[in-house]
Every structure is written in C-alpha cells, then in structure tokens.
Amino acid sequence: MTMNRANNLRVSSIAIFATIALTSASCASQTSESILVPEVRTSAPPTGTEADNFTVYSNFTALPDGPAPSTFETGQAASVAPVLDPSMNLRIANGKLTFAPTVDGPAAAYFRTGDLGKPVTSVGMKWTFTAQPGDTPGVAAMAIADRPADPLGGASPLMPLHFIVTRDGWNYSVSPGTSGGGAELITIAAGRFSSPLAEDGNTIHEVHIAIRGDTAAIDLPDGNRQEVQDPRIEAWASRYAFFEPYADRSSTDSITGFTEVWADL
C-alpha cells in the first residue's frame, strides 16, 4: 500500500516491514471483500489471572531491568528480530518491554513467538504510551504471521492480522507477504477514538482480538468493539505472532512499553 503524508495515514518502511500509523479518523484504504460492523459496547477482554490461561502469555511488570526475555511466562521460546541500530533493541525497563531508539527517523522492534503448531486465533496486549518532546504519536502493534518477523531477512511474512494503535486511532490490515521490499499492508478496517489515549507513561491500555473463521472481533482500548469480516483473515491463518513498538519519528514520537502480551490457538 502506498500513501503519502498528505493522506490521513502515514506509512514508513524499515527494511522489509512497513507500519501504518493513524493520524485521522478517515483513512485511504483498500477494502475489497471486507465488512466493518458498527461499533458496540462490550465487556472488557480477559485481564489479570484470566490472561494467564492463554497458550502464550507474558507479564513484564515484575521482571528486572535488562534484555528482553528469551521465553514467555508460559514456557515457549521467545525471540527478538535483528535490528538496524542497537538503540532499537528491546529491553525490560521499569516493568515494561520497550526500546529507546536514537536513530534519525523510523524505528521498530519485534518480540516474536516461535511456530505454535496451530493457527493463532487470538492475540492481545497491554501497554503504555510515554510522550516525548515533540508530541507526535508512537505506535503499539501486534500481528499474526506465517513466519518469524525479520525486517532484515529479505522478505515480509503473510499476515491475516496486522493491528496498530496510536493515541488517536487504530488500523487492521492484512498482508499477502512479499519476497523483498516493503510489506504490502492492505487496510480492511480503521477508526478514530473519541478522545485520545493517554500518553502519560502510567495509563495501561489494552486490546484483544479473537478470530473465528473470516471474522475478527476487536476489543478496543476505549471499551468499544468492532467486528471485521474478510476472507483473507481465514484463508491466511498462520502459526506465529509478534508484538512491535514503532516510532516513525524516533526523537518525537511517544514510546510504547508493553506490560503484558498474549496469544491463543
């Protein structure tokens, strides 16, 4: 997908992957064969001890400062993708999985599952946004993919789900994968929050997405739910997941810090 900064979406590419960041409610998107069901109120997604029951789960809040963990709390191997600059390396800081990019431009990092053996049917995350001088929005993202995310590996994965959140809104994309160049992210649903999410470094936001067939039910951080239908969600079912902090402008975008992440089969 190609869009410029004059559009309501901005796209930046780091090596193989591109992450879409919302700056407005409306978005230029490709929506063929997709259905967006109107927002309705719903109960909150699983939290606390309920989240511990997912197949893959980690809570970072009690971990000591240091490198990103090599296993999930539930025992599966975890890994981080290679990065372009050491400042993009994921680490635990003050009970959050985060990064501190100092590059001049975009920065992304990926916390990855291995092959989970069956298609991933739900993913979720809790995180904070911490504003930086400049007050531009950073991104919290998560995805389901057909291989480990590797922005330096020469190809981008097929993805039935690539979900991003900024303080202002959200975006659900799918991707057919590529053999080289930037990821082709095809937006099938997007929205804007009625009030911006807090970027105070303390307020924990949460999103959970459950997939059933060709339908994804999205529990949003503002307490609303969206259901999205698209045949590619089912046709591209995949066995890997990743969680990604992203900054389009590293020196001014708010920084994402994950407190919990999970996935289920």
pLDDT band (50, 70, 90) for residue 97: very high
The mean pLDDT value for 208-237 works out to 98
CA distances from 180 to 94, 144, 183 (A): 37, 19, 8
Span of 41-45, 97-101, 108-112, 258-262 with lowest mean pLDDT: 41-45
User: Can you read off the two tokens belonging to residue 227?
Assistant: 């259901």
User: Can you read off the two tokens belonging to residue 236?
Assistant: 């591209």
The pTM assigned to this predicted structure is 0.85
Residue 259 and residue 126 in contact, taking contact as beta carbons nearer than 8 Å = yes
User: Can you read off the two tokens belonging to residue 255?
Assistant: 């920084």
Which of left, alpha, beta for 117 (phi over 0: left; psi -120 to 50: alpha)? left
Neighbours of 221 (CB within 10 A): 22
Sign (positive or negative) of CA dihedral 27, 185, 219, 73: negative
Using one digit for the tens of pLDDT, what is the confidence trace for 70-91? 999 999 999 999 999 999 999 9
Is the pLDDT at 172 greater than 70, yes or no? yes
Q: How many helices (H) and strands (E) does the chain have?
A: 1, 20
- Looking at domain 9-20+32-264, its CATH class is mainly beta
pLDDT band (50, 70, 90) for residue 40: very low
List the chain domain ranges.
9-20+32-264
Please indicate whether residue 28 or residue 161 has the higher confidence score (pLDDT).
Answer: 161
Give the span between the Cα atoms of 246 and 99, in whole angstroms: 9
**What beta strand segments (E) does the chain contain?**
9-14, 17-22, 35-41, 56-59, 66-67, 78-80, 91-93, 96-98, 107-108, 111-113, 122-130, 139-145, 159-165, 169-175, 186-192, 205-212, 215-219, 224-229, 240-247, 255-264
User: Can you read off the two tokens belonging to residue 39?
Assistant: 């927002």
